[in-house]
């Protein structure tokens, strides 16, 4: 059975300003967000994520294109009539009201009966694990607790879609990690479609069912964490998500979805070819640091000298200066009792196993 689409953006364009000062915040963007999924808009500052989110909420309007909710165009619906709620970065709680009163606020606006409101507030307090603090004023709880209250308040009226605009950015590292897990749990438990905005790639990959990577008003790639990390479509995505080594070379032959590429730095490798591409001539390639292998010099591979070695607990980073001038990072997992690290200044060869390199579209 096909999965139901909760939110659809169809060929959305939004231009701010005019003349030479015009900014294309969204440039012909289309995306389908499925019901019950945790969907993330990821990209650097200014790429258009917030503008797209605000359009779903009804605070912003497209110059061209449509936003559909459960298949219906919602252009004419004001924000408060949409079955959508937003959690803002600064939480926007009423500081002088109690946790309970904050969570009840939206339900009161909707004119729900008192008994129903009380039951729902209790349910929400349980969901965000704040049962003990219901009667505390919101200026007397911690930042992490305020975050939970903001979530409870937004979820209380049972929106079909919850929009989250960088909701964790004000939290310290440890709390942020904890809230990432909590958010995911709440999404599962409620079954509500979450549309999450972040510029933090690690956060996007760990939390989302699917991610849309954006740059300059365009969506470059949509996929789950593995697809985006292992098969980035172009250089921007490869560079933005995780660490990357970029190489260039010339295609010698293509067979069975793999290309034989002679690298500018010497060796011939077998590289993955993205679906639908028939590479010829000069190509760019990406290799993730954990896919390169350090070997003694002289046995083939990319010749270079270890420039820096960084031990980081679970793994070791080797920054290798290739003889051709480029830099190549190799990350290898540390194993207990095994001395895996090379010394700075040591000559090495980096082997790129079959399929570890991927050809990029641009």
Residue ranges in contact with ligand ATP by CB under 6 A: 16-17, 23, 25, 43, 45-51, 199
Least Å distance, CB 219 to ligand ATP, is 12
Q: What is the DSSP string of 53-72?
A: HHHHHTSS--SEEEEEETTE
**Whether the Cβ atoms of residue 39 and residue 50 lie closer than 8 Å to each other:** no
Which of 311, 314, 291, 310 lies closest to 302 in space, CA to CA? 291
Phi and psi dihedrals of 196, rounded to 5? Answer: -115, 135
| Neighbour-count burial for 66-78, b at 16+ CB within 10 Å, e otherwise | ebbbeeeebeeee
Helix (H/G/I), strand (E/B), else coil: 102 = helix
Note whether 67 and 9 are within 8 A (CB): yes
Measured distance CA(306)–CA(342) in Å, rounded: 7
Smaller CB separation from ligand ATP, 199 or 210: 199
Q: Exposed, middle or buried by CB within 10 Å (0-12, 13-18, 19+), for 173?
A: exposed
Cα distances from 336 to residues 90, 225, 291, 294, 310, in angstroms, run 44, 29, 20, 19, 17
Q: Which is nearer to ligand ATP, 199 or 342 (CB)?
A: 199
H helices present in 156-266, as ranges: 173-190, 201-207, 225-230, 235-240
Closest approach of Cβ 199 to ligand ATP, in Å? 5
Q: How far apart are CA 120 and CA 155, in angstroms?
A: 10
Nearest residue (CB) to ligand ATP, 65 versus 274:
65
Place of tokens 């309970």: 100
Nearest residue (beta carbon) to ligand ATP? 50
Q: Are 351 and 300 in contact (CB under 8 A)?
A: yes
Tell me whether residue 199 or residue 318 sits nearer to ligand ATP (CB atom).
199
Residue whose CB is less far from ligand ATP, 49 or 318: 49
Closest distance of CB 30 from ligand ATP, Å: 17
Task: Pick the closer one to ligand ATP by CB: 47 or 207.
Answer: 47
Residue placing its CB nearer to ligand ATP in the complex, 45 or 312: 45
Give the residue with the Cβ less far from ligand ATP, 39 or 105: 39
- Cβ atoms of 107 and 117 within 8 Å: the answer is yes
Least spacing, CB of residue 57 vs ligand ATP, in Å: 13
């Amino acid at each position: 059975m096909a999965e139901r689409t909760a939110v659809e953006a169809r060929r959305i364009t939004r231009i701010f300003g005019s003349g030479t000062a015009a900014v294309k915040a969204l440039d012909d963007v289309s995306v389908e967000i499925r019901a019950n999924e945790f969907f993330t808009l990821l990209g650097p500052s200014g790429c258009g994520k917030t503008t797209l989110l605000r359009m779903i909420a009804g605070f912003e309007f497209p110059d061209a294109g449509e936003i559909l909710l459960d298949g219906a165009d919602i252009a004419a619906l004001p924000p408060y009539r949409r079955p959508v709620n937003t959690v803002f970065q600064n939480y926007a709680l009423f500081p002088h009201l109690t946790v309970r009163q904050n969570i009840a606020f939206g339900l009161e606006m909707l004119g729900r009966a008192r008994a129903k409101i009380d039951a729902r507030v209790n349910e929400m307090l349980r969901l965000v694990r704040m049962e003990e603090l219901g009667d505390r004023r919101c200026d007397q709880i911690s930042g992490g607790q305020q975050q939970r209250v903001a979530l409870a308040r937004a979820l209380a009226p049972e929106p079909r879609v919850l929009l989250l605009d960088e909701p964790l950015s004000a939290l310290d590292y440890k709390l942020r990690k904890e809230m990432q897990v909590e958010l995911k749990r709440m999404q599962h438990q409620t079954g509500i479609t979450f549309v999450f905005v972040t510029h933090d790639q690690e956060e996007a990959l760990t939390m989302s069912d699917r991610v849309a990577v954006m740059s300059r008003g365009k969506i470059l790639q949509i996929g789950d964490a593995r697809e985006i990390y292992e098969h980035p479509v172009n250089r921007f995505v490869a560079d933005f998500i995780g660490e990357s080594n970029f190489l260039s070379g010339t295609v010698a032959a293509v067979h069975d979805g793999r290309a034989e590429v002679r690298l500018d730095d010497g060796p011939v490798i077998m590289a993955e070819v993205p679906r639908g591409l028939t590479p010829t001539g000069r190509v760019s390639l990406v290799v993730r640091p954990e896919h390169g292998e350090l070997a003694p010099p002289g046995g083939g591979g990319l010749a270079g000298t270890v420039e820096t070695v960084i031990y980081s607990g679970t793994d070791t980073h080797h920054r290798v200066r290739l003889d051709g001038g480029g830099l190549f990072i190799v990350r290898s997992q540390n194993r207990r009792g095994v001395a895996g690290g090379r010394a700075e200044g040591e000559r090495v060869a980096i082997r790129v196993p079959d399929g570890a390199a991927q050809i990029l579209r641009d």
